[in-house]
Structure 1
Amino acid sequence: MAEPLPDLIEEIVADNGVDDFQAVAEQLLPAEDVEIATLLESLPVEERMSLWEVLPDVRKIDVLVEMRSDPREVLISATPDDKWSAILLGIDAEDLLELMDSLPSKLLELAIQALDEQQQAYFRDATQFPDEQVGHWISHEMLVLPLNAKVRDGLRLIRRNVPAHCDSIFLVNRSGQFSAAVKLTAVFGAPEHLPMVELTEESMPVIKGTDDSTTASLLVQRSGYAALPVIDDNNKLLGRHDIVSASELVNENYERQVMATAGMDEDEDLFAPVAKSARSRALWLGINLLTAFLASWFIGLFEATLQQVVALAVLMPVVASMGGIAGSQTLTLIVRGLALGQITSANLKALMTKELKVGGVNGVIWALVIGIVAFMWFSDPLLGLVICLAIFVNILAAALAGVVLPVILEKLKIDPALSGSVILTTVTDIVGFVAFLGLGSLFLL
C-alpha cells in the first residue's frame, strides 16, 4: 500500500469522504490482501461498502479470508446474490474453511460447487475435524515420495514444484502411512542412486489431526522445520502444518485471550451496530456489578469503623489498587504459561513459591513506602502501621490467587483469560478491604 493506512482512512472518511472510490480501488491494486482487509475494517460501514463494491471480484475472496468475522459478515450479507458466481471463481478448500462459518447455507453450497473435485475432497476431509483441532487447518500441498525412492526421484520432484514454506520430502509406505522425512538440503549434492531413506531426519516431530490446533502450532514454531507432517490415528499421512498457518493460529489465540480479559470477542467489528456491541458487552458488565456488590457488602461490615476513622475510607482505594495490579501481573504470566503448555503439576509448586517470594519482596517495599506516606499525611503512626500490614497481606494474597485461580479454572474447562481477571479483582478487593478495615478496627478504635 503506497499511502500509509492512517492517511488513507483520513482521506476516505474526513472532509465528507471521497467522490471516486474507483480511484481508491485502483490505488489499492499493488497492496497486499491483508492491507486491504485492514483498511476495510477501519472504515465506517457506508464507506466500507462503497469501497468493497468497486474492488475487483478476483481479489474479494482473498480479502474476506484476511478479515475478522464480524466485518466480513457485513460485506457478505450486503453483496447481491448474482455477484457471487464471479467472486467464487478459483476459491480453494483452505479459503472456504476460513469462510464457512460466515457464509449462509445457500452461499456455502454455491461455494462448495465452485470447488474442483480434488478441492471438494480436501474440504470434506477437513470438516471431519472441528476447528479446535489441527486437522481442520492442514495444507495438502506437500512433497511426497514412496519409501523406496532414490535421490534422483527427489530431485525430479523438487524441479517440478516446491510448495511455499516446504523444506522436507515426506516418505510413505504403500499404505500411505508416514515413515520418515528428508530435508531438501540433504537431497542436493547426494548421489542420485542413493536411497532416500539413508538421508532421513532422525527425530522430526509428528502431529496428529486430532491434536489441539494451538498446541500443534506451537510445536511447529519450536521444531526448526518449515512444516510438520499431520497423520491420522492409523499413521496415514493427511497433510502438513506449515509455519505460516501455525503462526496465524497462535496469533489468533493470543488476540482471543487479550480480548477475553475485557469480556470481548476478537472478531468484533469496530463499527458494529450499537445494539449488538452493547448486548455483547452487557454480560460482563453485569458480572462485574455483582462482584462489586459483594465487595461493598464486606465494606458494609465495617460501617462503624469507617464512621469513626474517616482516613480509612480515603486510603481504601490504595489497598485495592495495589492488590489488583500485583495480582494481574501474576495472572498474566500464568495464563501465558498455561497457553504455551509450560505449566504442569510438576513445576506448579516451584512457580507458586517463586511468585510468593516476589509478592513478599514487593509487599515489604511498597507496604513500607505507603505506610510512611500515610503516617506523614495523617500524622498517625498507627494508621501507617495498619495500611502497611494490609498492603503486605493483599499483595501476598494477590500473588497466591494469580497462580491458583487460572490453574483451577483450566481444570474446570473455563478459559482463565476470560474469567480470571474478574475473579481475581474480586478476591484482591475483598482481602484488601477486610485486612485494612479489620486491622483498623483492631488498632484504631
Structure 2
Amino acid sequence: MQENDIHNAVNELMDQSPDSDSQQIVIEQFEQDNSPVELALLLESLPLTARLETWSQISDSIKVAVLVEMRSDASEAIIGTLDEQHLLAMFTGIEADTLLELQDVLPDHLIEDVLARMDEEQKQRYSIAQQFEDDEVGHWCDHQPLVVPAKTKIKVMTRLLRRSIPAYGNVVFLVDNRGNWQGAVRFNKLFGADPLLRVSELVEEDFPTLNAKDDIYIAADKVAQSEESALPVITDGGLLIGRLDMGLAYRLQSERAESQIMATAGLDENEDLFSTVRKSTKNRAIWLGVNLLTAFLASWFIGLFEATLQQVVALAVLMPIVASMGGVAGSQTLTLIVRGLALGQISRANLKPLLTKEVKVGALNGVLWALVIGIITGYWFSSIMLGLVIGLAIVANIISAALAGIFVPVVLEKFKIDPALSGSVILTTVTDITGFVVFLGLGTLLLL
C-alpha cells in the first residue's frame, strides 16, 4: 500500500460534494486498486459524516471484510447507523472466524440471529472458540488446517495436496480417530515415498506445538521464532483445534507494538481518529487525572522545603535539571525492561545480574554528568558548594531512576498490569520525588 494513495483519496473525497459522480469514481478506483485493509484505513481517515457517505458507496460484497480490518471504535460507529434488517442481511452467511472478529461491536441479539443461520460446522467452530478467553490463542486460531487421520495412505495424501494447499502450509497435521494430535509430516517427505505407506510412518513427533490457553501474543512470538509457517494449537486434553500461522502472528505482533505505543500516552489502540468529543474527552481525562495526582504529590514534597527555596533561589532554578536527568535515565531503563518482559527474557533468575548492571550504568553516567553539571553550576552561580549539591543529587537520582526502571515494570507485571501503560507515569513520579528530596535536602544541610 502506498500511503500517498490514502492521502490523495482523502483530499479528493473531502473536496467533492457528497454523492457526486466524481466521488463515486474515486471510491470505485480506490476499491479496485486496494485491499480491504487500505479501505479500512481510508474510512478511518474521514470524519464521521464523510465516512458514512463513503461507506454507502463501497461494494456490498466487501463491506464485512472492511469492517473486520477497522478499529472497533470506528466499525462500531458505522454499525450503529445501520438498521437491524440491513445488518442481518450483511452478516448472514459469514464464517465463524469473521463473527469472532466482530462480536465485540455487534449487538448480542444480532449475533444470535447470525449464528442461527450458520451451518453446523461453523457453529461448532464458534462454540470451540468461545471456550477460551479473548487473550488465548484457542479463541483466535485458524480452524482450517490441513489435517488427516494418521493411518491415511501417502497416495491419498498426495492426491489431496494436488487439489489444494492452504496458505502458509508446508506440513500436514496428523490426528487419531478422536481428533487428538499425533504429529506432523512435511510435504517434501511425501513426494518420492512409497505411496502405500501410511503418513504416520513419516511423522515428526517433536514438531513444536501451542497450547490453546497460551497468551495470544506469546503464541505469536513462538510462531515467529519457530521457523515454521504455522504451529498447531492443542487443548490440554490433546485435541487439535486449529493452527496459528505466520501471517496472523505478524499481524498480532504489529497490533501489540501499536498498543504499547498508544499505551505510553494512556490511549487505547482502538480509539477512532474521529471519535466523538465526549468519548475522546472521557478516555483522556482519566489519564490526565492520574498525572495530576502524581504532580500534586511531587509538589507536596517540594513544599516541605519552602523555607530553603526562599533563601536559596538558585535551587528553584536548577530543580528541572535534576528531574529531567532522572526522568530520561529512568525511561531508558524502563523501555529496555518492558521490551524484555514482552519477549519473555526477564525472570527471577536473571533479575539480580540485570539490576547490578543497570545500577553500574546509572552510577557511571551519574558521576560523569554530575561532574559536568556541577562544574557548570559552580561557575554559573559562583558557588562550589551549590555545584557539589546538584552533582550529588544527579548521581543519586540517576541511580534511583535505574532501580525504578527495573522494579516498576516487574512489579506491575506481577500484578497483571501492563507496564507499558502505567510504567512511565509511576517512574516519572519516583524520579521527580527522589530528585527533589535529595537535591533540596542536601541544599538545606549544606547551603543554609
TM-score (normalised: structure 2)? 0.95
Q: Whole-Å Cα distance in 2 between the matches of residues 198 and 384 of structure 1?
A: 77
Which residue of structure 2 aligns with residue 354 of structure 1? 357
- Contact 2:24 2:57 (C-alpha < 8 Å) held by counterparts: yes
Q: CA deviation at 1:117?
A: 2.5
Given candidates 110, 113, 119, the residue that maps to 2:113 is 110
Query: 1:5-16 counterparts in 2 under 5 A?
Result: 5-14=6-15
- Contact 1:11 1:18 (C-alpha < 8 Å) held by counterparts: no
Matched, 1:119 2:122: yes
Q: Whole-Å Cα distance in 2 between the matches of residues 241 and 195 of structure 1?
A: 26
Question: Aligned partner of 1:37: which letter?
Answer: A
Q: CA deviation at 1:147?
A: 1.6
Which residue of structure 2 aligns with residue 164 of structure 1? 167
Q: CA deviation at 1:59?
A: 0.5
Deviations 1:79-136 (A, max 9, x none): 2333224422541111110000000123222332343321121111111111111110
Between the two proteins, what is the percent identity of the paired residues?
Answer: 55
Q: Whole-Å Cα distance in 2 between the matches of residues 399 and 17 of structure 1?
A: 56
Given candidates 126, 133, 136, the residue that maps to 2:136 is 133
SS at match of 2:208: coil
- Contact 2:340 2:346 (C-alpha < 8 Å) held by counterparts: yes
Query: 1:379-394 counterparts in 2 under 5 A?
Result: 379-394=382-397
Which residue of structure 2 aligns with residue 68 of structure 1? 71
SS at match of 2:8: helix
Which residue of structure 1 aligns with residue 195 of structure 2? 192
Q: Whole-Å Cα distance in 2 between the matches of residues 166 and 140 of structure 1?
A: 13
Q: Whole-Å Cα distance in 2 between the matches of residues 90 and 4 of structure 1?
A: 32
Question: Aligned partner of 1:292: which letter?
Answer: A
SS at match of 1:270: coil
Q: Whole-Å Cα distance in 1 between the matches of residues 94 and 16 of structure 2?
A: 38
SS at match of 2:244: strand
Q: CA deviation at 1:399?
A: 0.5
Q: CA deviation at 1:413?
A: 2.1
- Contact 2:371 2:391 (C-alpha < 8 Å) held by counterparts: yes
Cα RMSD of the aligned pairs, angstroms, is 1.8
Q: Whole-Å Cα distance in 2 between the matches of residues 417 and 97 of structure 1?
A: 27
Q: CA deviation at 1:70?
A: 0.3
Query: 1:9-88 counterparts in 2 under 5 A?
Result: 9-14=10-15, 19-20=20-21, 21-30=23-32, 31-88=34-91
Which shows bigger deviation, 154-163 or 398-407?
A: 154-163
Question: Aligned partner of 1:335: which letter?
Answer: V
Structure 2 residue ranges without an equivalent (≥5)? none
Q: Whole-Å Cα distance in 2 between the matches of residues 9 and 25 of structure 1?
A: 10
Query: 1:270-309 counterparts in 2 under 5 A?
Result: 270-309=273-312
Q: CA deviation at 1:186?
A: 2.2
Matched, 1:424 2:427: yes
- Contact 1:88 1:114 (C-alpha < 8 Å) held by counterparts: no
Which residue of structure 1 aligns with residue 104 of structure 2? 101
Deviations 1:178-225 (A, max 9, x none): 011011222233332343234323532111211211111111111111
Structure 1 residue ranges without an equivalent (≥5)? none
Query: 1:240-251 counterparts in 2 under 5 A?
Result: 240-251=243-254
Q: CA deviation at 1:15?
A: 7.2
Given candidates 171, 175, 181, the residue that maps to 1:178 is 181
Question: Aligned partner of 1:4: which letter?
Answer: D
Q: Whole-Å Cα distance in 1 between the matches of residues 116 and 377 of structure 2?
A: 73
Deviations 1:379-409 (A, max 9, x none): 2222111111111111110000010111111
Which shows bigger deviation, 59-68 or 367-376?
A: 367-376
Q: CA deviation at 1:16?
A: 6.9
Matched, 1:409 2:407: no
Q: Whole-Å Cα distance in 2 between the matches of residues 373 and 331 of structure 1?
A: 29
- Contact 1:91 1:114 (C-alpha < 8 Å) held by counterparts: no
Question: Aligned partner of 2:9: which letter?
Answer: L
Residue 12 to residue 378, structure 1, CA distance change in 2 (3 Å)? farther
SS at match of 1:331: helix
Q: CA deviation at 1:145?
A: 1.8
SS at match of 1:101: coil
Q: Whole-Å Cα distance in 2 between the matches of residues 151 and 200 of structure 1?
A: 12
Q: Whole-Å Cα distance in 2 between the matches of residues 16 and 32 of structure 1?
A: 25
Which residue of structure 2 aligns with residue 211 of structure 1? 214
SS at match of 2:31: coil
Q: Whole-Å Cα distance in 2 between the matches of residues 103 and 219 of structure 1?
A: 31
Matched, 1:443 2:432: no
Q: Whole-Å Cα distance in 1 between the matches of residues 406 and 299 of structure 2?
A: 25
Q: Whole-Å Cα distance in 1 between the matches of residues 399 and 354 of structure 2?
A: 14
Q: In the comparison of the two structures, how many residue pairs are matched?
A: 445
- Contact 1:11 1:17 (C-alpha < 8 Å) held by counterparts: no
Question: Aligned partner of 2:293: which letter?
Answer: L
Matched, 1:323 2:326: yes
- Contact 2:9 2:30 (C-alpha < 8 Å) held by counterparts: no
Which residue of structure 1 aligns with residue 377 of structure 2? 374
Q: Whole-Å Cα distance in 1 between the matches of residues 88 and 292 of structure 2?
A: 49
SS at match of 1:28: helix
- Contact 1:143 1:157 (C-alpha < 8 Å) held by counterparts: no
- Contact 1:57 1:86 (C-alpha < 8 Å) held by counterparts: no
Question: Aligned partner of 1:8: which letter?
Answer: A
Residue 18 to residue 58, structure 1, CA distance change in 2 (3 Å)? closer
Q: Whole-Å Cα distance in 1 between the matches of residues 62 and 223 of structure 2?
A: 30
Matched, 1:396 2:396: no
Q: Whole-Å Cα distance in 2 between the matches of residues 80 and 195 of structure 1?
A: 54
Q: Whole-Å Cα distance in 2 between the matches of residues 315 and 227 of structure 1?
A: 56
Given candidates 229, 239, 242, the residue that maps to 2:242 is 239
Q: Whole-Å Cα distance in 1 between the matches of residues 360 and 204 of structure 2?
A: 44
Residue 46 to residue 393, structure 1, CA distance change in 2 (3 Å)? same
Q: Whole-Å Cα distance in 2 between the matches of residues 361 and 7 of structure 1?
A: 51
SS at match of 1:181: strand
